Structure 1
Amino acid sequence: MQGVEREDRELLDAQALVGHLVPEGGMFAFLAAHRHDVFSDEEFEDLFPSGRGRPSIPASVMASILVLQTLHDLSDRETAEAARCDLRWKVATGMALDHKGFDPSTLVYWRKRLAKSTRPHRINDAVRRVVEETGILRGRRQRAVDSTILADAVATQDTITQLISAIRRVGRVVPGAAEQIAAVCTGHDYDVPGKPVIDWDEPGAKETLVSALVNDANALLEAYSGVDDDEWDEPARAALALLALVAGQDVEPAEGSDGTDGRWRIARRVAPDRVISTVDPEARHTRKSPEARRDGYRAHVAAEPETGIITDEALTKATGTENSDPGVAEKFLAADAEAGADGAGAREWYGDSAYGTGYLRGAMHDAGHDAVIKPKPLHAAVEGGFTVDDFTVDEPAGTVTCPAGNTRPITKARHVIFGALCRDCPLSARCTTSKSGRTLDLHERDALLRRARADWAAKPELREKYRQNRPNVERVVSHIASRGGRRLKLRYRGTEKNHAWLTRRTAGLNLRTLVGRGLVRTAGIWALTPQTT
């Protein structure tokens, strides 16, 4: 059953005895006074529907602990120790000085209850209601978007480790698989922990091992190819699917092989959506820049640049079009419109050149918003030569005219092929190196992209607005991704759990921002003190 906070204080109540030691104006002092106002027991009643059994830790206390945990980037064990030994935590959560705290597994229990509920992100929702009631965002039209890569909680695995791990997982979770592995998998003893013992400096030995493991994986998959898996649970089906994936993503037929003789080698390329660990199959390789490759997940954020209040967040896989910066920004745009946020109408959306796609600009334009987004740089086919902006596009006529005055039609696929016209053109050396002539691929929102590039070049006030507002979101991202100068590393596996962590962290950061601006509760209403608004 759900526990509730007692109105009467205990004899050794921490707030009564040492509350004066906790500085005013901070998160600990705020939660000591207002945790039940932000996280009311009624908001968590559905987590304990039976009303029977031993009372849980009160919801207001546990919600406060989860927020403090993410703000301070503590493990479950460190969090339980802080609640037991740190006077600030005892004051913030209403515990007595001699309270022994709780077992770290209690945090896992609460996170699971929240994840399975109809409102898994209710802690974040509670803080958003406080933000809305203060009116701090009222009339503020700007929103800035950005993202960062957060390292995953597991080690990146090589191909051999992944194959062995995937076969072992099938043996653990698929009914009857242990017997099948013993019968059809002869390349390695999968009961022996660790990597196989071979001469790793000998290329032939490594290739022989890869072939044996791939053949074992294929044999195991073949053994289950005709089996009806309707009665299997999701982990069993997922284990076979993962085995099929890792058996194909990193290998290719060996030199001189057609793929049918059982000889394989590690592929001389990286799969575009490569699984990097069987322990966390949703973690990915990615690049924040051409020079810096990172492994993990991508955290996206939208924030009001002047106040630093986070208005939306999402944690996604690090690869995939739907998980890209402009792809997630479109979802933020749609969510903002659906919420009818503050009745603000048209907004100004700020983003760097990664967000300068035609589709995102089109979505903003169609919604009546202004895109203050740095355009993507144009690259000429010939160094110092003509770019696409040197070609004149006539959309009503469906034609494009090149710098030499030649006009060609726009095809249904929005290609423009100049072909033989380039052969004797005196400007061809500045236009193309292709023997078949210049070809343009026009985006369906080409007019918006051209206008954005022209406005960026011709309007210094646009660049000034960008300079003033866009960098502020980088500070917000820094608060999300680091603490005390140390880059954070995710503590959970999978997109769902890590997204839940991100919502709790943004809730804590928003609440901390409001507290720093003088958040008070007067006559049951949240407000900011006048001198800080």
Structure 2
Amino acid sequence: MSLRPHHPLPPVPEDTARVAQTAFRRGNPYLLLRTRLGTIFADAAFADLYPARGQPAYAPWRLALVTLLQFRESMSDRQAAEAVRARIDWKYLLGLDLADPGFDYSVLCEFRGRLLQHEATGRLLARILDAARDQGVLKARGRQRTDSTHVLAAVRDLNRVELLAETLRAALNAVAALAPDWLRRVAPPDWHERYDRRIEDARLPETGPKREAYVLQVGADGYRLLDALDGASAPPLAVALPAVAVLRRVWARHFERAGDGSPPAGTSVRLRPVQGRGPGDRVESPYDVEARFRAKSGTEWTGYMVHLTETCDPDLPRLVVHADTTPANVHEAMRTGVIHAALAGLDLIPSEHLVDAAYISAEHLVAAHERHGIALIGPARSNQSWQTREEGAFHVTDFAVDWERCRVCCPEGRESTSWGTYRDKVSGRAFIRAGFSPAVCRVCPAKPRCTRAGSRRLSLHPRAEHEALAAARMRQESEEGRQLYGQRQGIEATIAQGVRSFGLRRARYRGLAKMTLQSVATAAALNLDRLAAWFSHRPLAPTRTSRFEALAA
């Protein structure tokens, strides 16, 4: 497929405009978007995705718009292609004649493939943001807020036994499609009894010796296939299959061989204990090897996390400016700097960024201010020592730090006698440890409120981080700070809208790259919806009031 030379984008045909305006006398979001934003996309923005020669491609600016409309209305590819043929409001937005037959639904999949191949998925959201900026409803150095939600992978949850057997079955199917004659010679007849059908449809042995024997048999079968693939007669293309690579990863994590680790097929196999399994990252399904398991706040799922950042300036629409997708086991704190760097690339750095405690640390507070001039606002993670839980005890904040003299003064007026730096063994970050004399602490009348050890020892962040953390806690305790942070809760309504209307928590596709495309397209479609509401002066829906609550009012 090739792209034709760029021509001026066509206006809406007269017949299409006349019928659409007659059918939607009270207005329509898509008609309004075409009037205010034009075509939004242009072919030139996708020219590098197509070769110079080949059959002319369907206009990519239309495919980009259809992709967003498809996500806005939670449609499949077939439904979206049918809407292009049948719906007047879609034809108006796309500038199509009433008799235009549209395109085959497979063109949408091919277009997404080009976006993924060239890592161009971000263009869908970036162009919507540029259009909003041209309309004067989006600006940099404003106020933004971020939160995340879980996304269920498009795979079935598997227990350990199902995972092992299904991984081997997936590898057998992949090899059978590529090298059927070779596999027919390698596979014994009893493999068909165990792996012809999906494992979830099979009747597995009950828990006990029969179940253990079944698992060990699956392990031995997997090693037999891997040994055959390592042989000289194995087809090279079969050896390089992704499903075979997944089989190796899963077997290395869950099984071990007796002896020297590389015996011939048929030797004993052991299942690794649940605690302390083998090397490698944890694979939850052979069909989506990037999906991960996570438990958070009472919710357990296998899949991904999506972090949405939106504007929250007064008297402007709430627009999603960034969507970040990660495997579920990536903690929120690992994404704070990534989100700020992405916003800097879009020239949409905020002056104030409202986040919850998962995104904040002393290091983040300093880095956000020094690198981007961002005031990161949110509750700093609390100290977990017993002093913070017992009333009247001396907290770290009760100690005065003299950074020039490298001394700490306790609430009773005694100064520390030691000061040194050390690195945390887990995180590798630098800290300062200040200690007081045991002789002084032992006779201090305030010792029960200070320490239960022989003497008090404090672990402090470096000066910049310590002061940033103290300032953040002081702001959070003030009334003004609490009111400012209260605006972060609005992002939860955006997530709720994404879940209810856009299917935000269910993956359409498998793999991190495709999930990233889904989250970006969802964010862009959500912005289209909000821009249409803003242009039509449709107010935000008020919070619902129950009838019983209304009695009190």
2:442–2:454 CA contact under 8 A, matched in 1: no
* Structure 2 equivalent of residue 350 of structure 1: 354
Cα 1:253–1:482 change in 2 (3 A) is farther
- In 1, Cα distance between equivalents of 2:35 and 2:491: 30
Deviations, residues 216-256 of structure 1 (Å, cap 9, x unaligned) = 334444555688999759x92533432233224456899xx
- In 1, Cα distance between equivalents of 2:71 and 2:282: 29
Q: 1:359 aligns with which of 360, 363, 370?
A: 363
3-state SS, counterpart of residue 321 of structure 2: strand
Structure 1 segment 132-531 matched on structure 2, within 5 A: 132-138=133-139, 141-173=142-174, 179=182, 183=186, 188-189=191-192, 191-195=195-199, 200-221=205-226, 236=240, 238-249=242-253, 262-264=269-271, 267=274, 274-289=282-297, 291-306=298-313, 307-320=317-330, 324-341=331-348, 347-367=351-371, 368-381=373-386, 383-384=389-390, 387-398=395-406, 405=414, 407=416, 408-413=418-423, 414=431, 416=433, 421=438, 441-444=459-462, 445-457=465-477, 459-467=478-486, 469-483=487-501, 488-518=505-535
Cα 1:416–1:177 change in 2 (3 A) is farther
- In 2, Cα distance between equivalents of 1:446 and 1:58: 55
Shift of 1:165: 2.8
The TM-score normalised by the length of structure 1 is 0.79
Letter in 1 for 2:343: D
* Structure 2 equivalent of residue 257 of structure 1: none
Deviations, residues 459-498 of structure 1 (Å, cap 9, x unaligned) = 321111111x2122222233333318x7641201111111
- In 2, Cα distance between equivalents of 1:225 and 1:394: 65
Cα 1:397–1:216 change in 2 (3 A) is farther
Q: 1:41 aligns with which of 33, 40, 43?
A: 43
Structure 1 segment 53-132 matched on structure 2, within 5 A: 53=55, 55-117=56-118, 119-132=120-133
Taking every aligned residue pair, what percent have the same amino acid on both sides? 24
Letter in 2 for 1:214: G
1:287–1:293 CA contact under 8 A, matched in 2: yes
3-state SS, counterpart of residue 263 of structure 1: strand
Cα 1:335–1:5 change in 2 (3 A) is closer
Cα 1:436–1:57 change in 2 (3 A) is farther
Unaligned runs of 5+ in 2: 259-266, 424-430, 539-553
1:79–1:104 CA contact under 8 A, matched in 2: yes
- In 2, Cα distance between equivalents of 1:198 and 1:376: 48
Shift of 1:399: 5.3
Shift of 1:276: 1.6
Letter in 2 for 1:131: A
Letter in 2 for 1:381: W
Cα 1:207–1:389 change in 2 (3 A) is farther
Shift of 1:210: 1.7
3-state SS, counterpart of residue 303 of structure 1: strand
Shift of 1:66: 0.7
Letter in 2 for 1:40: A
Shift of 1:173: 4.4
- In 2, Cα distance between equivalents of 1:516 and 1:491: 27
Shift of 1:72: 1.1
- In 2, Cα distance between equivalents of 1:2 and 1:338: 28
3-state SS, counterpart of residue 218 of structure 2: helix
Cα 1:52–1:461 change in 2 (3 A) is same
2:407–2:415 CA contact under 8 A, matched in 1: no
3-state SS, counterpart of residue 126 of structure 2: helix
Letter in 1 for 2:292: R
Shift of 1:453: 1.7
3-state SS, counterpart of residue 82 of structure 2: helix
Shift of 1:186: 9.6
Tell me which moved more, 502-511 or 25-34.
Answer: 25-34
* Structure 1 equivalent of residue 543 of structure 2: none
Tell me which moved more, 326-335 or 23-32.
Answer: 23-32
* Structure 2 equivalent of residue 50 of structure 1: 52
Shift of 1:140: 5.0
Tell me which moved more, 295-304 or 220-229.
Answer: 220-229
Unaligned runs of 5+ in 1: 255-259, 520-527
- In 2, Cα distance between equivalents of 1:419 and 1:250: 49
Tell me which moved more, 418-427 or 267-276.
Answer: 418-427
Shift of 1:23: 5.8
- In 2, Cα distance between equivalents of 1:167 and 1:139: 51
1:19–1:91 CA contact under 8 A, matched in 2: no
Cα 1:23–1:473 change in 2 (3 A) is farther
RMSD of the alignment, in Å? 4.2
Tell me which moved more, 188-197 or 297-306.
Answer: 188-197
The TM-score normalised by the length of structure 2 is 0.76
Letter in 1 for 2:497: H
- In 2, Cα distance between equivalents of 1:340 and 1:90: 33
Letter in 2 for 1:293: E
- In 2, Cα distance between equivalents of 1:438 and 1:240: 56
2:360–2:381 CA contact under 8 A, matched in 1: yes
Shift of 1:215: 3.3
- In 2, Cα distance between equivalents of 1:157 and 1:428: 54
Tell me which moved more, 155-164 or 422-431.
Answer: 422-431
2:28–2:89 CA contact under 8 A, matched in 1: no
Letter in 2 for 1:168: R
- In 2, Cα distance between equivalents of 1:227 and 1:392: 72
1:361–1:371 CA contact under 8 A, matched in 2: yes
* Structure 1 equivalent of residue 541 of structure 2: none
3-state SS, counterpart of residue 509 of structure 1: helix
Cα 1:2–1:24 change in 2 (3 A) is farther
Tell me which moved more, 141-150 or 244-253.
Answer: 244-253
